[in-house]
Amino acid sequence: MATSYLALRQLHFRHELVERWRGLDRIVLVGAGLLSWGIVYAVVGLILALSHALLTLTETGTPTEMRWLTVIGWQGLTFSILWLARPILFMRTIDAFVASLPVSARSIWLADILMALQCYSLLWLPLLCLPYMIWRQLPPLQAFLACMAFAIMVAVGLLFNLLLLRKAMTSATAMLLPLLVMVFFQPQSFIGFTALIGTGLLTTCVAVRLLRRSSEKRAQPPAPAPPLSGFHQATALVLLIAWHVLHDTLIWRSGMLLASLGLSLALPSLRPTDPRLPEAAMIMCAALISVMLYGMPALISRAVLTRLDFLAGHRGFRRRVILCSAMLASLIFCTMLSACWLTSSHLMAAGAPHPKAILYPVIMFLALFIAGVWMALKISISLRWIMPTAHLTLMLILLMAAFS
């Protein structure tokens, strides 16, 4: 019997999962045996936290900022899972073979949707727990509208993630409109539910038309002019090569940096009257930002010098690559740290007499970041454990001082 395209995708998906996780089964069993109930509590806590976060969209007194954070956090979490699974999700290792198959675009997109639903994995648990929590708090009609609205939001978010991963940026932009409806309208209201259905159908039709037009234009692609060629030459091709070689790592680190900024906003809101929470949020954010960025100059410079090995022996070129990589990481570090410091100091000003006290962790982690950049560039790989241990130790010391 002939194998369908979807069956081929599923066979490849299972084979790649087995190959990538080969040898880790014993580690998982040992970890489950040692932690046992700790893993159960962590999974249950994560499920309840995600369910309660989505449930805030149905509450009347939820501020707009929290609704933005909830929708963006859900989309960021689902996109991160699909991004990490995209090599096996889209069969990147056998692109040439897949491109030669006589498969229609409809079959490809249907397989993408079904495979992406499998990749959501544990995220279906909070989505299954959410209707139970909604039916306990809302009347039957409003609960039904809210459940249908959340189902539409998950479907639209799934299509948005797939369009981004397929690099259909224009069509993905059109799918943002239903997600904006979830921010500004309550899902259990008749107006919000009607607006969500209308915008969902409209944006889906627009996205399909844009995909068809882009596929027709792709038959004769124009030769693009190289953009920003002078800038890339001045920076020794650091940005260009770093994005092409390390885009997975860079996007993962960017997601962690945005998560740190969200932590500085969300943690103090749990107990607004406690002046110690903004300082604790600032300490944890500074540690996370420094850990994510201190190794970036060494990572980027090694990638650039490996790709341009014929120029690696030139001392001036090597110096320019290291300088540009360090400047890029330092610029991101200062920007993210300043944003977290301003946010924490603004939240701390109402509850503490000395909001400038959180400036001391900033100075300490700035010094630790500079030392980490130097150690990552100069010291061997076998001593990589020093800087994460130093960050963890300093964070624990400062947290103990903040809550004492």
Please state the rounded mean pLDDT for residues 127-144.
84
Residue 125 pLDDT > 60, yes or no?
yes
**What pLDDT was estimated at residue 265?**
64
Helix orientation angle between 315-348 and 276-293, rounded to the nearest 10 degrees: 170
**What pLDDT was estimated at residue 217?**
53
pLDDT in tens, 160-205: 888 888 887 877 888 888 888 888 888 888 888 888 888 888 888 8
- Give the CA radius of gyration of the chain: 24
The fraction of the chain above a pLDDT of 70, given in percent, is 73
d(Cα 147, Cα 145) in Å, to the nearest integer? 6
Residue 235 pLDDT > 70, yes or no?
no
Q: Which of 167-171, 240-244, 378-382 reaches the highest mean pLDDT?
A: 167-171
Amino acid (one-letter) located at 17: L
pLDDT in tens, 46-101: 777 788 888 888 888 778 888 888 888 888 888 888 888 777 777 766 666 666 67
Q: Which structure tokens are listed for 347?
A: 């939240």
Q: Which structure tokens are listed for 372?
A: 């980490």
For the chain, the maximum distance between any two Cα atoms, rounded to a whole number of angstroms, is 76
**What pLDDT was estimated at residue 399?**
80
**What pLDDT was estimated at residue 157?**
86
**What pLDDT was estimated at residue 183?**
82
Please state the rounded mean pLDDT for residues 212-224.
54
**What pLDDT was estimated at residue 320?**
82
Helices (H), 21-175: 25-35, 37-55, 64-84, 86-89, 95-99, 105-120, 124-137, 140-165, 169-174
The torsion defined by the Cα of 133, 138, 140 and 145, in degrees rounded to 10, comes to: -80
Q: What is the mean pLDDT of the chain?
A: 75
Give the number of residues written for the chain: 404
Please state the rounded mean pLDDT for residues 316-322.
80
**What pLDDT was estimated at residue 166?**
81
d(Cα 215, Cα 207) in Å, to the nearest integer? 12
pLDDT band, residue 24 (cuts 50/70/90): low
- Per 3-state DSSP, the chain is made up of helix, strand and coil in percentages (nearest 5) of 80, 0, 20
Please state the rounded mean pLDDT for residues 319-327.
84
pLDDT in tens, 349-363: 544 445 556 677 888
pLDDT in tens, 296-314: 888 888 888 777 776 666 7
For 104: left if phi > 0, alpha if psi spans -120 to 50, otherwise beta; the answer is beta
Q: What is the pTM of this model?
A: 0.53
Helix H or strand E encompassing 236 = none
Residue 220 pLDDT > 70, yes or no?
no
